[in-house]
Amino acid sequence: MRFVPANCLRTGQVLASDLVLNKNRILIGKNVRLNEALIGSINAFGFQGVYIDDEISEDLRIANVISDELKTKAKREVRTMFASVETPSGKRGVRNIDTLKDVVTNIVEEVIYNRQAIVNVVDIRSYDDYTYSHSLNVAVIASVLGGVLNLSRKDLNELVTGALVHDIGKVFIDKNIINKVSRLTHDELEDVRRHSRLGYDYILTNSKISEASKIAVLTHHERFDGYGYPAGLKGEEIPLFGRIICVADVYDALVSDRPYRRAMLPSDAMEYIMSGYGTMFDPDIVDAFTKRIAPYPVGTCVRLSSGVIGIVVGNYEHSRLRPIIRVIDEGRLTSTYIDLAEDYSTLNTTIVEIVNI
């Protein structure tokens, strides 16, 4: 199977997995052949793309860092948590923190178990559940980065807890501003920027959330060069969890469709992160990031400088920009592989663009 962006879907393509709406309602089932109307619904519901099964991706296995079951459970708990803040009883703090702790433990266990997996963050989600998917993706990326940085299991648990609730303060900001399509005014921007402190204030008295997780919420928009908010902390004045969540947060936002712009390609988003090396982001965390996040995830179709088109079938940790490609000729998969990292005859060959087949 492979991921195809919603705007590149064609009639006749076959869904590789159920397309699920909020509350676990299935919009389109696995193995259904897409027609114009179904592609229309996929776009109308705001899905960024879907996994399809076709000839060129028949042998591809997408190795997820966390299982689909855990993903569904985690999104449900994050949704419950955000909803609990908006009810009067929410004043007591995050209501489902005990079930959330189970989710945190499961995420850390699965990320440790799959520690060799290269992360492909592009995922199936619609606009409606952006907040929940984003919270979960940030938690997964943060724990992967924490793993590269050799954090202890206790630290990883606290980091993931902070990541899951990092944007909880947005519940207190006017939704019209949060979802605004056009450019924010100066005052609106100032208002949005209150969310990290509001989130911190909200969880401050919750004794089941550690101090480190709370501080992570407060500091996830600080920048390494001191130009972030709310306090303008600089370098290692920013606690480590805030520095990690900052990178995870920016990357996941860039590869997501937003009401005001389309998603960036993973390779372009990675370049953006690399461009913030030592300015916006902690260089050690950018290094950890480039080790484990794939700019060309398995299933991506690419054109090489030699003119060859192929599908990415493997990635190397030591050479993220140079994956293994299986050649596609006239729309058909061939038995020819090009190993951009290990085969010296390809030294002068580069990936020039991502193509949609």
Instruction: Tell me which residue has its CB nearest to Fe ion.
Output: 167
The number of helix segments (H) and strand segments (E) in the chain equals 12, 10
> Does 252 participate in binding Fe ion (rule CB under 5 A)?
no
Sheet holding 49-53, edge to edge: 2-5, 49-53, 14-15
* Integer Cα distance of 349 and 332 in angstroms: 22
Q: Near Fe ion by CB under 5 A, which window of 23-31, 164-172, 318-326, 330-338?
A: 164-172
Distance CA 37, CA 271 (A): 36
Give yes or no for a contact between 52 and 4, defined as CB atoms under 8 angstroms apart: yes
CA angle 164, 268, 245 (to 5 degrees): 20
Applying CB under 5 A, the site for Fe ion has a residue count of 1
Q: How far is the CB of 347 from Fe ion (least distance, A)?
A: 42
Closest CB to Fe ion among residues 2, 221:
221
> C-beta of 162: minimal distance to Fe ion in Å?
12
Nearer CB in complex with Fe ion: 47/251: 251
Judged by CB, which is closer to Fe ion: 155, or 167?
Answer: 167
- Specify the residue, 13 or 137, whose C-beta has the smaller distance to Fe ion: 137
Q: Which stretch binds Fe ion (CB under 5 A): 20-28, 163-171, 325-333, 334-342?
A: 163-171
Q: Which two tokens stand for residue 222?
A: 């600080």
Q: Could you tell me the smallest distance in angstroms from the CB atom of residue 216 to Fe ion?
A: 11
Residue 267 backbone dihedrals phi, psi, to 5 degrees: -65, -40
Which is closer to Fe ion, CB of 57 or CB of 137? 137
Is 54 a residue that touches Fe ion (CB under 5 A)? no
Where on the phi/psi map is residue 2: left (φ > 0), alpha (ψ -120 to 50), or beta? beta
Q: Which range, of 33-41, 159-167, 201-209, 341-349, touches Fe ion by CB under 5 A?
A: 159-167
167 binds Fe ion (CB under 5 A): yes
- Are 74 and 103 in contact, with CB atoms under 8 Å apart? yes
Helix (H, G, I), strand (E, B), or coil: what is residue 81?
helix
The CA distance from 122 to 235, in Å, is 30
Task: State the minimum distance, in angstroms, from the CB of residue 112 to Fe ion.
Answer: 26
Nearer to Fe ion, 123 or 167 (CB): 167
Provide the binding-site residues for Fe ion, judged by CB under 5 A: 167
